[in-house]
Amino acid sequence: MDRNQVTQKILSTKVAKRMRWADLAQEFGQSKEWTTAALLGQMTFSRAQADKAQQLFDLTDEEAAWLQIVPYKGSLPTAVPTDPLIYRWYEIVSVYGTTIKELIHEEFGDGIMSAIDFSMDIQREADPKGDRVQVVLSGKFLPYKSY
Amino acid sequence: MDRNQVTQKILSTKVAKRMRWADLAQEFGQSKEWTTAALLGQMTFSRAQADKAQQLFDLTDEEAAWLQIVPYKGSLPTAVPTDPLIYRWYEIVSVYGTTIKELIHEEFGDGIMSAIDFSMDIQREADPKGDRVQVVLSGKFLPYKSY
Amino acid sequence: MDRNQVTQKILSTKVAKRMRWADLAQEFGQSKEWTTAALLGQMTFSRAQADKAQQLFDLTDEEAAWLQIVPYKGSLPTAVPTDPLIYRWYEIVSVYGTTIKELIHEEFGDGIMSAIDFSMDIQREADPKGDRVQVVLSGKFLPYKSY
Amino acid sequence: MDRNQVTQKILSTKVAKRMRWADLAQEFGQSKEWTTAALLGQMTFSRAQADKAQQLFDLTDEEAAWLQIVPYKGSLPTAVPTDPLIYRWYEIVSVYGTTIKELIHEEFGDGIMSAIDFSMDIQREADPKGDRVQVVLSGKFLPYKSY
Amino acid sequence: MDRNQVTQKILSTKVAKRMRWADLAQEFGQSKEWTTAALLGQMTFSRAQADKAQQLFDLTDEEAAWLQIVPYKGSLPTAVPTDPLIYRWYEIVSVYGTTIKELIHEEFGDGIMSAIDFSMDIQREADPKGDRVQVVLSGKFLPYKSY
Amino acid sequence: MDRNQVTQKILSTKVAKRMRWADLAQEFGQSKEWTTAALLGQMTFSRAQADKAQQLFDLTDEEAAWLQIVPYKGSLPTAVPTDPLIYRWYEIVSVYGTTIKELIHEEFGDGIMSAIDFSMDIQREADPKGDRVQVVLSGKFLPYKSY
Amino acid sequence: MDRNQVTQKILSTKVAKRMRWADLAQEFGQSKEWTTAALLGQMTFSRAQADKAQQLFDLTDEEAAWLQIVPYKGSLPTAVPTDPLIYRWYEIVSVYGTTIKELIHEEFGDGIMSAIDFSMDIQREADPKGDRVQVVLSGKFLPYKSY
Amino acid sequence: MDRNQVTQKILSTKVAKRMRWADLAQEFGQSKEWTTAALLGQMTFSRAQADKAQQLFDLTDEEAAWLQIVPYKGSLPTAVPTDPLIYRWYEIVSVYGTTIKELIHEEFGDGIMSAIDFSMDIQREADPKGDRVQVVLSGKFLPYKSY
Amino acid sequence: MDRNQVTQKILSTKVAKRMRWADLAQEFGQSKEWTTAALLGQMTFSRAQADKAQQLFDLTDEEAAWLQIVPYKGSLPTAVPTDPLIYRWYEIVSVYGTTIKELIHEEFGDGIMSAIDFSMDIQREADPKGDRVQVVLSGKFLPYKSY
Amino acid sequence: MDRNQVTQKILSTKVAKRMRWADLAQEFGQSKEWTTAALLGQMTFSRAQADKAQQLFDLTDEEAAWLQIVPYKGSLPTAVPTDPLIYRWYEIVSVYGTTIKELIHEEFGDGIMSAIDFSMDIQREADPKGDRVQVVLSGKFLPYKSY
């Protein structure tokens, strides 16, 4: 058994029971962004969170134990994603990557925006010309230091 | 001559004259995000914007004409970026890509968040535990339709 | 269970029952292009469409539920397709890609032809020198805007 | 000297003289699709067409001679194109490739749609919800035969 | 079930029954080249050919039905083949590819040698210094046309 | 200086002087296939052949010396060729590769068809339904031996 | 069933029975190099050799038949091997490849060292500073010929 | 300036002066294998060796200084080499890689054959059926240890 | 059966029994670094170590035998790792690789730091600004020698 | 002009003047590790550090200005490095990557070892069996948090 098999079981159960991510997030008392990433096999569950998942998805004890093991992360089957929605994000990195780099460096100096001390919030933005997806990303700035 | 050569000249001049992106954006009367992307060779200038660039960067008439031609976009030298700042964004797509996909589909149904009808805003977020980079992405939702 | 398994079952049933895409499209009341893409696992079914598929292909309730989940899209096993028919389309993009880009930009300015707000129609074009395949692609033009 | 250098000179001259593809096509008496592909280095010029190009773009005799040599075709710098407009076409092949294959085979049997005995027509399609790009592709069907 | 599984069963049966391709070709009344390619999953069978295959390889009705579906073609597991015999052919394309291109263009003008309207004949060529493999490839020339 | 630069000069001179491969082959007293491959930088010239090339293409002594150095072979810029004519050959290897392998092994046993002790002949094959390209490949069979 | 499955069974049996390659080679009356390559699925067995293998590894008749079919060769899962021992050989090709090429060409002229008419001998070379692996490779020189 | 430019100059001079690797090795008092690899940019020269090279190839002081800097090694332009002679070595690694691994492990246990504490000797092996290339590789065995 | 299956069983048992690497290392009397690598399928067990593993993880005799076979090493599913923790190490190689190379060469001359005669020690480094991971790598220097 | 050109000039000057990294580090008053990475184009110089570099390497004002611009990082020409010294580090990541991951997670929980808040120290470790390279890596642990 490995984490992927547990993720497949969770997804299969979610479809069969027609559950929603937003409702699951409330069950866990976490944001829908963290909850979804965790159930998709990218985050690590605490003991209490694993117990909750065990109950919601009818997991065995061993399956619940796997949720508390840090997974090998990376959710995409190819280096350049083929799915159109996910590709648009890859395209943003491709087209605007050097722009993002220049503007963060101009404001903060040399360093990075953390993808670990990081959070994300996805919302519907009502717009008369067609609703928009608004995503707020927040990552701690980590400076390079000379030593 | 091609657009890359004009971009190189712009970057070289910007370094030599120690210009800042934020100041350049004010010269163009556009956001710093669009201005930077455009000067980095990813966006197309209007005639008036190209005239302004010609004056700021001492461009020839032919160089200014190239700014009004739609460029071949994509700013990165490799499919998986090596630069640590840009890689963190690639990692966000890799780790959270399926999460973003699931949450947008749950809210909007099948479709994508546009990377064309799109804007971006990058700001410093003051934080006592270390300042953060906050990026707001806004893209129109475009639904798939059956026909 | 995942969507690929449902797609495999649909294809297997279609072959065993010697069904035709054109007839299936009539059952769904949609174009043959949308219907085929959907049954091949690239589009999302409404509840009613999934019920129809359940009946046509003897699907279980869980299989029918999977049809209503947005799939991870991309139908090809390799980045450059090996199948000769599909490769010819890749070749059109490779040989004529910059041509298509130049002509759309000359007519519309900077932007793209949408692959989401998009439809396709494939027809036989009778020709005394040998019949031809005629494909009409229609995609909304989406302009880049400065902001 | 090689064909790429001639193409670069043609493009550079076109930008400097602010020429349009549609006007150039009229000069050559060919469609704008063929003319653009040819000037972008993908097609071979006849002697008369090369003479016309020599005059329009101030080419040397050797440059004009290169236009009559069959070029090494393929206009994109990477196997998966990074430019958003051209990528959308790659995405159509990726998402709809198996659909196109199935429908052509259902209508014609085993074989391909030629990318050589092929023509393309790109037009603006007026639409109150936003104008569309309409592309008509026509390729001769070539059957596989048993022997 | 898919075509690959039928191909695997055919190969397995052929080994178990110690059949020869040349004999199988006589059963089908086709060349050994077409017959082998078809049984290896690259060509489409007519109803009568599928019936013959069903009898020779003890196929089920559904397996025989799969033989009449156009397969996704391409017989190699990697883009650059590792098998030494097949690699030599890849090497011929790599070393002599531009030579073949130049000589066909010099004789026929711009166009291609078809790989669809195509046949192949493989024979032993007796030679006192060691027998040789002689392969005759014949493909229709298809010209590019301006339009 | 390297061999590629000599090849570029040869090609450039050939275009400027509107030479033909068939005529050049007669100058060298070799087949058009070997001559073209050699002038395209894939084969090694003898001293006498290099002298002939020096005279035909106005080469310097050092350029002629390079022709007698064994070149680093491989004439294509990418592992999967983008040029349609050369791609068709790659496709033949991809679609028929396992077929060729099976038939050579059935006739000769385990081993390969040499791509070194090898010759090639390309001819026009007149055909009322459209002329064909006929290519005869002849390679010595080399058996694997147990030891 | 395919050859890989037979190879897996052979390896599994070899481990379970704690057999040694050197002993197996004696059973077959061949070198340990050929025997190992053959049992690892890279070489073809004669009828007698397959009978011997059947007895040693408890193979079924069909499994023994597969050993007499020429396998699809290539024993590595990735183009650049990850295993440190095998990588060192890849590194020798990478670092010394052009050296080997130059020295063979200087001695023999244009051509190759055959990897088919080839044998290999691996021995321990005692050395007070630490024993060494000595490998002797012998391949027939095959010259390119002009024609 | 970098090492590649010095290597290019050395090669260019060697061709212009029609030097032989074997003679150059004698000048350096080293094996032809080490000398060739060093002159091809893969090894580091001592001060005395660099002085000798400076004299033989008319190098400047800076060029001679570069020869004493450890180069970035790796002599091939692609991960899978296209040159037929070098490819045969890649093929040996691909086909016999697991065999070499098994036999070294059986004799020595877990560890590698060093590619650093390594030497190579290339000789002509006279053979009435055609001369052979014999290559002796000798590398120190380095064991993995548990700790 | 192969080593991967044994590794999977070990991992599965470790999760089910909630074992810790540090405790397992004590059972084996080896460092936690070697023990973890060995249990993850990268190192070879002695007979005694395999017996210990058999007892700890309820392995069969054949599974224990596989632990004593040298494995095909390399623990990552892709050439560029997607897991953020492992990627940071890849990034260190990418960003600091040439730095490490220069400094080792300046101190030791041409050669390498061995990855075979190698050990590693990972410790927590307490730090008031946030604890740090300290990793000490020790590898024997192996010099290139001229010969 | 870009940063790479400045790096090339620095390297060229360092070789011509036979400077040592350790001495340069003293000039900058930084560690040899940071100094080398910075001069190799991977780190950003302060104004004072750039002035020092300008004086040491005879840089122009524009070249010194480039040193203060954050570079596009990544020092290797290929994703898998070919240089043997650097490859050994890649191999450590490949073979021990999952081990490092498991041990850091066991000690710290889910998170990463930072490659930004990071330092490195490379030393000679005297050893009677052959001196060793000792490298100490220290990176801040950054935990993933649920939110």
Name the token pair of F63.
């350029």
Q: What is the mean pLDDT of chain B?
A: 97
Q: Do residues A62 and A85 share a domain?
A: no
Query: Which has the closest alpha carbon to F93: E35, E91, E70?
Result: E91
Q: Do residues D89 and D49 share a domain?
A: no
> Which pLDDT tens digit goes with each residue over F100-118?
999 999 999 999 999 999 9
Which of I72, I78, I142 to probe the G interface (max G CBs under 10 A)?
Answer: I72
- The Cα–Cα gap between E142 and F127 comes to 13
Q: What is the pLDDT of residue A1?
A: 84
Choose the closest CB to B83 out of J69, J74, J115. Answer: J74
> Which pLDDT tens digit goes with each residue over J85-112?
999 999 999 999 999 999 999 999 999 9
Choose the closest CB to E84 out of G1, G66, G115. Answer: G115
Angle (CA) A82 A87 A91, round 5°? 135
Residue B140 — φ and ψ, nearest 5°? -65, 140
- The pLDDT tens digits along chain D (147 residues) read 899 999 999 999 999 999 999 999 999 999 999 999 999 999 999 999 999 999 999 999 999 999 999 999 999 999 999 999 999 999 999 999 999 999 999 999 999 999 999 999 999 999 999 999 999 999 999 999 999
Instruction: State yes or no: pLDDT of B82 exceeds 90.
Output: yes
- Of A114, A119, A132, A138, the catalytic one is A114
> Which pLDDT tens digit goes with each residue over F9-44?
999 999 999 999 999 999 999 999 999 999 999 999
Q: Do residues G55 and G92 share a domain?
A: no
Residues of F in contact with D79 (CB under 8 A): 78, 80
- The Cα–Cα gap between J105 and J143 comes to 10
Beta strands in chain B (DSSP E): 111-125, 132-143
The answer to whether residue D77 neighbours chain A at the CB level (below 8 Å) is no
Q: Do residues D91 and D60 share a domain?
A: no
Q: Do residues C43 and C93 share a domain?
A: no
Q: CATH number of the domain that H15 lies in?
A: 1.10.260.40
Task: Judge contact between A108 and A141, C-beta under 8 A.
Answer: yes
Residues of B in contact with I84 (CB under 8 A): 91, 95
Which of H12, H15, H88 to probe the F interface (max F CBs under 10 A)?
Answer: H15
Name the token pair of I75.
């623990």
> Which pLDDT tens digit goes with each residue over E63-78?
999 999 999 999 999 9
Q: Do residues I90 and I51 share a domain?
A: no
Residue G50 in domain: yes
- The Cα–Cα gap between I114 and C70 comes to 49
> Which pLDDT tens digit goes with each residue over E19-66?
999 999 999 999 999 999 999 999 999 999 999 999 999 999 999 999
- Of H46, H88, H94, H119, the catalytic one is H88
Distances (CA, A) of E34 to D108, E115, E118, F103: 20, 13, 11, 11
**Cβ density class I72-104: b for 16+ within 10 Å, e for less:** bbbbbeebbbbbbbbbbbbbbbbbbbbbbbbbb
> Which pLDDT tens digit goes with each residue over I48-75?
999 999 999 999 999 999 999 999 999 9
The answer to whether residue F74 neighbours chain H at the CB level (below 8 Å) is yes
Q: What is the pLDDT of residue I136?
A: 98
The answer to whether residue G62 neighbours chain E at the CB level (below 8 Å) is yes
Q: What is the pLDDT of residue G1?
A: 84
> Which pLDDT tens digit goes with each residue over F121-143?
999 999 999 999 999 999 999 99
Instruction: State yes or no: pLDDT of J143 exceeds 90.
Output: yes
Q: What is the pLDDT of residue J1?
A: 85
Q: What is the mean pLDDT of chain A?
A: 97
Residue H63 in domain: yes
A54: DSSP letter? H
The answer to whether residue I62 neighbours chain G at the CB level (below 8 Å) is yes
Task: Judge contact between A94 and B75, C-beta under 8 A.
Answer: yes
Q: Could you list the active site residues of E?
A: 88, 91, 114
Q: Mean pLDDT, to the nearest integer, of I106-118?
A: 97
Choose the closest CB to J16 out of H65, H73, H76. Answer: H65
Q: Using CB atoms, list chains with 3+ pairs below 8 Å to chain A.
A: B, C, D, I, J
Beta strands in chain E (DSSP E): 111-125, 132-143
Instruction: State yes or no: pLDDT of G8 exceeds 90.
Output: yes
Q: Do residues C9 and C50 share a domain?
A: yes
Q: What is the mean pLDDT of chain H?
A: 97
Yes or no, beta carbons of J32 and I103 under 8 Å apart = yes
Beta bridge partners of A143: A111
The answer to whether residue D116 neighbours chain F at the CB level (below 8 Å) is yes
Q: Could you list the active site residues of I?
A: 88, 91, 114
SS3 G61: helix
The answer to whether residue I142 neighbours chain G at the CB level (below 8 Å) is no
Choose the closest CB to F1 out of H12, H82, H84. Answer: H12
Spatial neighbors of G60 by CB under 8 A, at least 6 apart, are G54
The answer to whether residue F84 neighbours chain D at the CB level (below 8 Å) is yes
Residue H76 in domain: no
* Nearest-neighbour CA in chain F from D126: distance (Å): 35
> Which pLDDT tens digit goes with each residue over B18-30?
999 999 999 999 9
Name the token pair of G53.
């293998």
Residue J89 in domain: no
Residue J25 in domain: yes
Distances (CA, A) of F61 to D143, F10, F116, G133: 53, 14, 29, 46
Distances (CA, A) of H121 to G134, G137, H33, H133, I15: 11, 10, 7, 10, 52
Yes or no, beta carbons of C15 and E73 under 8 Å apart = no
Split at pLDDT 50, 70, 90, the class of J120 is very high
- Of H114, H119, H132, H138, the catalytic one is H114
Give the 3-state secondary structure percentages of chain D, helix then strand then coil, rounded to 5: 50, 20, 30
Spatial neighbors of A105 by CB under 8 A, at least 6 apart, are A111, B85, J70
Query: D61: exposed, middle or buried (C-beta count within 10 Å: 0-12, 13-18, 19+)?
Result: exposed
Yes or no, beta carbons of D84 and B116 under 8 Å apart = yes
Distances (CA, A) of A98 to F137, G92, J36, J44, J73: 51, 38, 25, 16, 12
Instruction: Tell me how many domains chain H contains.
Output: 2
Choose the closest CB to H34 out of I33, I44, I147. Answer: I147
- The Cα–Cα gap between H106 and G122 comes to 11
Q: Do residues F92 and F58 share a domain?
A: no
Answer yes or no: G125 catalytic.
no
Residue G39 in domain: yes
The answer to whether residue A76 neighbours chain I at the CB level (below 8 Å) is yes
Q: What is the pLDDT of residue E17?
A: 94
Per DSSP bridges, beta strands G132-143 and H132-143 are antiparallel
Residue H75 in domain: no
**Cβ density class E74-90: b for 16+ within 10 Å, e for less:** bbbeebbbbbbbbbbbb
Instruction: State yes or no: pLDDT of C1 exceeds 90.
Output: no
Name the token pair of D99.
């659909």
Q: Do residues H10 and H59 share a domain?
A: yes
The answer to whether residue H130 neighbours chain I at the CB level (below 8 Å) is no
Q: Do residues G42 and G93 share a domain?
A: no
Q: Could you list the active site residues of J?
A: 88, 91, 114
- Of F12, F20, F46, F88, the catalytic one is F88
Instruction: State yes or no: pLDDT of H119 exceeds 90.
Output: yes
Residues of B in contact with J115 (CB under 8 A): 84
> Which pLDDT tens digit goes with each residue over A48-91?
999 999 999 999 999 999 999 999 999 999 999 999 999 999 99
Spatial neighbors of E26 by CB under 8 A, at least 6 apart, are none
Q: What is the pLDDT of residue J111?
A: 97
Residues of I in contact with J131 (CB under 8 A): 108, 140-141
- The Cα–Cα gap between F41 and F37 comes to 6
Q: Mean pLDDT, to the nearest integer, of I17-44?
A: 97
Q: What is the pLDDT of residue D1?
A: 85
Q: Which residue has the tokens 């210094």?
A: E129
Give the 3-state secondary structure percentages of chain F, helix then strand then coil, rounded to 5: 50, 20, 30
Residue C141 — φ and ψ, nearest 5°? -80, 130
How many CB pairs below 8 A link B and D?
27
Residue F76 in domain: no
Yes or no, beta carbons of F146 and G49 under 8 Å apart = yes
Name the token pair of B144.
């798939």
The domain in which residue J126 lies consists of 110-147
Residues of J in contact with I76 (CB under 8 A): 93-94, 97-98
Q: What is the pLDDT of residue E1?
A: 85
- Of C12, C88, C94, C119, the catalytic one is C88
Instruction: State yes or no: pLDDT of H47 exceeds 90.
Output: yes
The answer to whether residue G129 neighbours chain I at the CB level (below 8 Å) is no
Interface of F with E in 28-57 (CB under 8 A): 32-33, 36-37, 40, 42
Q: Do residues D88 and D63 share a domain?
A: no
Q: Using CB atoms, list chains with 3+ pairs below 8 Å to chain D.
A: A, B, C, E, F
Q: Mean pLDDT, to the nearest integer, of J2-10?
A: 96
* Nearest-neighbour CA in chain J from G71: distance (Å): 30
The answer to whether residue A83 neighbours chain I at the CB level (below 8 Å) is no
DSSP string, F55-71: HHHT--HHHHHHHTSPP
Torsional class of D111: left (φ above 0), alpha (ψ -120 to 50), beta (otherwise): left
Split at pLDDT 50, 70, 90, the class of H1 is confident
The answer to whether residue G2 neighbours chain E at the CB level (below 8 Å) is yes
How many CB pairs below 8 A link E and F?
229
**Do chain F and chain A touch with ≥3 beta carbon pairs under 8 Å?**
no
> Which pLDDT tens digit goes with each residue over F45-76?
999 999 999 999 999 999 999 999 999 999 99
Task: Judge contact between I99 and I93, C-beta under 8 A.
Answer: no
Q: CATH number of the domain that I107 lies in?
A: 3.30.1160.10
Instruction: State yes or no: pLDDT of H30 exceeds 90.
Output: yes
* Nearest-neighbour CA in chain J from I7: distance (Å): 12
Instruction: State yes or no: pLDDT of C117 exceeds 90.
Output: yes
Q: What is the pLDDT of residue B34?
A: 98
Q: What is the pLDDT of residue F33?
A: 97
Q: Do residues A118 and A140 share a domain?
A: yes
Query: Helices J32-39 & J21-28, crossing angle to 10 degrees?
Result: 100
Residues of J in contact with G84 (CB under 8 A): 91, 95
Q: What is the pLDDT of residue C41?
A: 98
